[in-house]
Structure 1
Amino acid sequence: MAPLIWLVTGTTSGIGRSLVEHIISRGDKVIASGRKVEERLGSLKSDSFALLELDISAGRREITTKVKEAWEIFGHIDILLNNAGVSAMKSAEEAEDDYIANMFQVNLFGQMHVTQAILPFMRAQGHGRIGFTSSSSAWTPLPFMSHYAASKAALSAYIESLHKELRPLGIDCVAFECGGFPTHLGQPRAEGDSTFGGGVDEGIKDYVPGFGKLVGMFMSDPMEFMPGDLSKVAPRIVDIMKREGVAAGRPWAVHIFFGSDAYNSTKQKLEEVFRLAEEWKDVAYSTDREEHSHLLNKQYAEAVSIL
């Protein structure tokens, strides 16, 4: 089979760096994108490996131009992997506008812009696959990470709806809901970038005990809360996007969890949500019109299904 062509964002470290190296090892071609990508990955350039300077926090017009440039490198793109992201901890009350705007720009709006830019090309060729690195925090938000969790929850909801729109056109989407992995996700995106600084040490003192408790939990044994093995993520992603290995013979899934912590915490959350929904079911039904059957419309049920 001819090698597949990948465009991957956020490739200068962490999962993205590991991913592009594994893609090449599997015989495919990859366009690695990110900030200062030439400086950080220039030594890896080859006939199968191209670089694209791309800041996903740039405006939609610039991103559209960059994606067109990426498409022309190898003549087409089979797989887009939206991997860029950032994380930080800060109390919701103390978060400044720049902090919030940048969190959503990197984790949500940038992903949307890259996806919007590539869709006309994928629709024209009649096929494509789009993966996103999301987070189990979308399902299980922690205190002092409200904006990160909100950006990832919005991203995962976007992916699910997007998949339903695109699958009739031969384009599949998937959210990789990652748990704890030892990456540089919580660090500044570039030297001197203090936008994502977190904490409450010099802020509202009422939040210090809660913040300290959370940080203390993670600091007591950091690896206990990061069960993920970074070297195993890239092979799983490539298997899933290529429908090989662990994905062979399985139906496409729009949400896939990485890490036992992601699986177990989300399972707990869904069970708790169901329990609360049942406890308040009578209140939910009490707001219906008197003549309504309380049954879910079959067409609506099909439209919202992820299976």
Structure 2
Amino acid sequence: MAPLIWLVTGTTSGIGKALIEHIVSRGDKVIASGRNIEARLGPLKSESLALLELDITAGRSNIAAAVAQAWSIFGHIDILLNNAGMSAMSSAEEASDEYISTMFNANLFGAMHVTTALLPYLRARGGGATIGFTSSSTAWTSLPFMSHYAASKAALSAYVEALHKEVSPLGIRCVAFECGGFPTHLGQPRESSSSSIAPPAFGSELYPAGLGALLSMFGSDPPRFMPGDLSKVAPRIVDVLKREGAAAGRPWAVRVVFGSDAHASIKQKCDEMLALLDRWKDVSYATDRDGYDHVTSSRYLETVSILEKE
């Protein structure tokens, strides 16, 4: 089979860098993108690995031009992985508009802009493509002092669900990878650029005890809170997007969880949410109009389902 062509964002460190090296090792070709990409990944360039300067916070027109350039490098793109993102800590009250805007541009709007820029090419080609997004277990389980990060990732995962329902009839599949703790540079501020403002360093003048308790928990045993292995997550992401290896023979999943910590915390959240739904069911039903039988349309439930039919 001919090698598949990948476009991956956020490849200068962490999961992204591990991914591009693994993709090439599997016989595919990859366009690795990021900021200051030539300076940071120049030695990795080869016939199978091209570099593309791309700041996903640079705005729609700049991103559209970069995506057009990416398409021309190998003639097409089979798999897009929106991996670029950022993380930082701040209390909800102390976060500035610049901090919030940077967070959502990096984690949500940038991925949206890259995706919408590429979709016309994928539709014109007739489908058969796959789009992945690196999300987070905090999309389900918000942590204090990470409200904006969690909100941006929750919005991203919700976007992926809806997008998949829209484009899957065209033969384009989408998936959000909801990762637990991995030893990456996500918590470090973005370096300065003309299109982004670095978030402040960790700290809180108004809630020092609360933030201190959270940092103390993570600092008490860092490996316990970051069980992920970058050398293991990259192969699993590629397996899912290519439907090979660990993903072979499984129905498509629009949300895939990585990490035992992510699995445990999301399962706890689902169990707790079911308990809350049961406790408050009478209040929920009490808002229906008089005479309604409280039976939800099966067509609606099928439309919002995230499970693929086997």
TM range (shorter): over 0.9
CA distance in 2, matches of 1:55, 1:194: 12
Amino acid at match of 1:195: A
The residue aligned with 1:163 is 164
Shift of 1:199: 3.2
Normalised TM-score (structure 2): 0.96
CA distance in 1, matches of 2:115, 2:293: 40
The residue aligned with 2:81 is 81
The percentage of counterpart residues that share the same residue type is 68
SS of the residue 2:92 aligns to:
coil
CA distance in 2, matches of 1:170, 1:241: 14
The residue aligned with 2:143 is 142
CA distance in 2, matches of 1:200, 1:20: 34
1:199 to 202, 206, 218: 202
- Is the contact made by 1:188 and 1:194 (CA closer than 8 Å) also made in structure 2? no
Give yes or no for the alignment of 1:187 onto 2:204: no
Shift of 1:124: 1.1
Query: What do the CA deviations read for 1:124-171 (whole angstroms, capped 9, x no partner)?
Result: 112210000000000001000000000000000000000000100000
The residue aligned with 1:47 is 47
- Is the contact made by 2:98 and 2:197 (CA closer than 8 Å) also made in structure 1? no
Amino acid at match of 1:272: E
Query: What do the CA deviations read for 1:51-98 (whole angstroms, capped 9, x no partner)?
Result: 000000001011001101100100000000000000001100000010
CA distance in 2, matches of 1:240, 1:194: 34
SS of the residue 2:67 aligns to:
helix
CA distance in 2, matches of 1:71, 1:189: 27
Moved more, 182-191 or 106-115: 182-191
The residue aligned with 1:282 is 282
CA distance in 2, matches of 1:196, 1:265: 27
Amino acid at match of 2:287: T
Normalised TM-score (structure 1): 0.97
CA distance in 1, matches of 2:48, 2:211: 46
CA distance in 2, matches of 1:98, 1:195: 9
CA distance in 1, matches of 2:294, 2:121: 43
Give yes or no for the alignment of 1:178 onto 2:179: yes
Equivalent runs, 1:1-307 vs 2, <5 Å? 1-126=1-126, 127-190=128-191, 195-201=198-204, 203-204=205-206, 207-307=207-307
SS of the residue 1:81 aligns to:
strand
CA distance in 2, matches of 1:191, 1:57: 12
- Is the contact made by 1:32 and 1:49 (CA closer than 8 Å) also made in structure 2? yes
Shift of 1:293: 1.1
Shift in CA distance, 167/8, structure 1 to aligned 2, threshold 3 Å: same
SS of the residue 2:131 aligns to:
strand
Structure 1: runs of 5+ lacking an equivalent:
none
For the aligned residue pairs, the C-alpha RMSD in angstroms reads 1.1
Shift of 1:194: 6.8
CA distance in 2, matches of 1:194, 1:212: 25
